Amino acid sequence: VIFIAGNMPMVSEITPLIIIGKLEQYDYAGATAVAVVLLVISFILLLVINALQAWQRRRNGASS
């Protein structure tokens, strides 16, 4: 897998590269922490998007 990023710390660094860097340094706990934070953010975004879609469907259904 090839990542296209500048990899400048705190500027253009992407999360997969942070995880790979931590794994290369044998910092398994740090890599796991970054991955878990990313997973939690993803689930929260999915819940918010689903809630907005349900709200929009109810709103459009009520006005028809």
pLDDT in tens, the chain (64 residues): 666 777 677 777 888 889 999 999 999 999 999 999 999 999 999 999 999 999 999 988 866 5
52 and 60 Cβ atoms separated by less than 8 Å: no
* CA distance linking residue 23 with residue 31, whole number of Å: 6
Show me where the domains of the chain are located.
Answer: 15-63
7 and 17 Cβ atoms separated by less than 8 Å: yes
Whole-model pTM: value is: 0.74
Whole-number pLDDT of residue 64:
53
